[in-house]
Amino acid sequence: MEGRERAAGSASGRLLAVLAAFDHEHTALSLTDISRRAGLSLTTAHRLVAALTGWGALERDVNGVYHVGLRLWELAALAPRGLALRQIALPFLEDLYEATHENVQLAVMDGAEVVYTEWIAGRSSVGVRIQVGARWPLHATGVGLALLAHTRPDVQERYCAGPLAAYTPYTITDPARLRRALAEVRHSGVAVSNRQITDDALSVAAPVRGADASVVAAVSLVVPEAEARVASLIPAVRLAARGISRALGWHPAPRTDPAA
The tens digit of pLDDT for each residue in 101-134 reads 899 999 999 899 998 888 888 765 555 556 677 8
Tell me if 34 is assigned to some domain: yes
Task: Indicate if 225 and 102 belong to the same structural domain.
Answer: yes
Question: 2-36 burial string, b = 16+ CB within 10 Å, else e?
Answer: eeebeebeeeeebbebbbebbeeeeeebebebbbb
Specify the range with the lowest mean pLDDT, choosing from 56-60, 184-188, 223-227, 238-242.
223-227
Q: Which of 21, 23, 29 is nearest to 5 (CA)?
A: 21
pLDDT tier at 3 (50, 70, 90 boundaries)? very low
Tell me if 55 is assigned to some domain: yes
pTM, entire model: 0.72
pLDDT of residue 241: 97
The answer to whether 108 and 117 have CB atoms below 8 angstroms apart is: yes
Looking at the 3D structure of the chain, how many domains does it have?
2
Residue 86: pLDDT over 50: yes
Backbone angles phi, psi at 198, to 5 degrees: -130, 155
Task: Indicate if 167 and 198 belong to the same structural domain.
Answer: yes
CA–CA dist 190, 238 (Å, integer): 8
Specify the range with the lowest mean pLDDT, choosing from 31-45, 81-95, 228-242.
81-95
The CATH number assigned to the domain holding 61 equals 1.10.10.10
CA–CA dist 144, 115 (Å, integer): 9
Tell me if 254 is assigned to some domain: no
pLDDT of residue 1: 37
Averaged pLDDT score across all residues of the chain: 87
Tell me if 185 is assigned to some domain: yes
Tell me if 234 is assigned to some domain: yes
Task: Indicate if 50 and 124 belong to the same structural domain.
Answer: no
Task: Indicate if 95 and 117 belong to the same structural domain.
Answer: yes
Domain of 30 in residue numbering reads as: 11-69
pLDDT of residue 83: 65
